[in-house]
Structure 1
Amino acid sequence: MVEHVICYRAPTTVVDVEAIANWLSERLSVPVTVRDRFLDVHRNDDTDLAERFAEARVPSPYERETGNTMLGTIRYEERALEHPERSGGVLYDGVQVQRALNAALPADERGLETAHVAFLDRAIGTWGDHDGRWHKRVNVLGQPALISVPGLYEAPAKPEEYYKEQQRHALLSGDTPPREVLENQVEGEFLIEDDPRSTDALRGYALQASHYLAHGKAFCDEEGCCLFNAHYHEELLEAQLRDPLFCADHEQLYG
């Protein structure tokens, strides 16, 4: 049984973790507290987090093997830990990152009675055996639960017109158009980087983390419920930002 939820800030992002923690505390019967960035709070000389992140790097979207532990890469990861605002553009195996962060937790906080929810400024993914490629994710549930703020914008599929415009621009100019160009030219609802709706959109993902440890089930099957695992931006917006936030069953638990 979950007795305490600890949320960790992502200071390089627009996400207000205190607001998310307050929302959780209104729906859970356990204390919800906020700590600074997970990679600062639980980093010490014994964790080797820079090397573990280097090992979790995804070099190719179509290759299962991960990791680049050359000295230059480890130095990059060390700088990213010290200066997170300078990092970006790298995809990490979310399961490997989760294992590394679990090992960094104090032994007396590693049990399932404490739900750690780490908001990250890193892009994380999981390997899809069904199609032989990596998929970006908003979250990876477990201990600790990882919530990727970049994943909120990048993981769910955008409207089809977005990708058509992306291809059209590439054919005309030979490169990928800047994200802001596509966002201005394509109609349809989707979240963009640093979207002011980010905090509200991630509340349900934080609740999924606690729900998973407490009940053993990751997601809800009802599309309109904020515990639903959305694969498209339209689904995400419907589940996270529109009332009612819960299906009938989860309304009884958290409404």
Structure 2
Amino acid sequence: MVDEVICYRAPSTVVNADTVADWLADRIDASVTVRDRFLDVHRTDDLPERFAEGRVPSPYERETGNTMLGTIRYEERALEHPEREGGVLYDGVAVQRALNAALPEAERGLETLHVAILDRAIGTWGDHDGRWHKRVTVLGQPALVSVPGLYEAPAKPEAYYEAKQRHALLSGDAPPREVLENRVEGEFLIEDDPRTTDALKGYVLQAYHYLETGETFCDSEACRLYNAHYHEDLIEAQLRDPEFCSDHARLYEG
């Protein structure tokens, strides 16, 4: 049984971890506290090398890792200056193992759930199609919740990718937010979206639900425990009423 949930801030993102924690505390039978960035609170000397080992060099290659000195130096700088990190995909399971090892031994038990909100993109390997897939979450201890994953993992409307490609061909750079929002029908989240905090609430609850019940995700698209593969479904599950399906409303309706 989970007695305590500890959420960790991601200060280089727009996520308000305190708001997420307050929302969660109203819905679960466990204490909820907030700490500063996981990679600061539980920093260990080997973390740069562990992150280097977890790098995904190609979306179609299972093997991970680049432990050349330059890569490790990059990871050291990313730990010190997270706002400079970006564009790298990490094996979420490898990162989870590294962060679990960084936890104090007294806090590794499953009665205390650690939820590391991260400013890094994480993925898992798909045996069914032989490629890496970006993820919002990796459930377990600690649970990983990726802010870039919220924007990048679920598929956006096809028109989004077409508009982005057209703009890049004409101007050579990424289109600004207003261009995409005006040209593409359908709702989706993009980097630094003001709805990020609200959208992440359900993913943090998924981490608690998994550890508490052993269940992964809900099959209902109208539930915050749903694992959305498309942005339209993400918005339906996380940002629209009702918050929960009838089964999970009995557990978590605030």
- TM tier, smaller: over 0.9
Q: For the residues of structure 2 that align with 1:167 and 1:44, how far apart are their CA atoms?
A: 41
What is the CA deviation profile of residues 148-201 of structure 1, one whole-angstrom value per residue up to 9, with x for unaligned ones?
A: 00111111000111123334445x449564363434422220011101100000
Structure 2: any 5+ residue segments left out of the alignment? none
Residues 166, 176 of structure 1: 8 Å contact kept: no
Equivalent-residue separation in structure 2 for 1:248 and 1:106 (angstroms): 38
SS of equivalent residue, structure 2 residue 96: helix
Matches within 5 A, 1:130-141: 130-141=128-139
Does the CA contact (< 8 Å) of 2:55 and 2:66 recur in 1? yes
Question: Deviation per CA, 1:40-84, whole angstroms, max 9, x where unpaired?
Answer: 000133xx0000000000111111111000000000000000111
- Do the aligned partners of 2:164 and 2:175 also contact (CA within 8 Å) in 1? no
- Distance in 2 of aligned mates of 1:135 and 1:184: 28
Q: CA deviation at 1:89?
A: 0.8
Deviations 1:83-135 (A, max 9, x none): 11111110000000000000001111101111110000000011111111111
Distance (whole Å) between structure 1 residues aligned to residue 76 and residue 166 of structure 2 = 39
The alignment's TM-score, normalised by the length of structure 1, stands at 0.95
> Number of aligned pairs?
252
SS at match of 1:33: strand
Distance 1:60 1:223, change over 3 A: same
Unaligned runs of 5+ in 1: none
Identity %: 77
Q: Is the 2:155–2:229 Cα contact (8 Å) retained in structure 1?
A: yes
Q: Which amino acid aligns with 2:92?
A: G
Correspondences of 1:46-125 after superposition (within 5 Å): 48-125=46-123
- TM superposition score normalised by structure 2: 0.95
Aligned Cα root-mean-square deviation (Å): 1.4
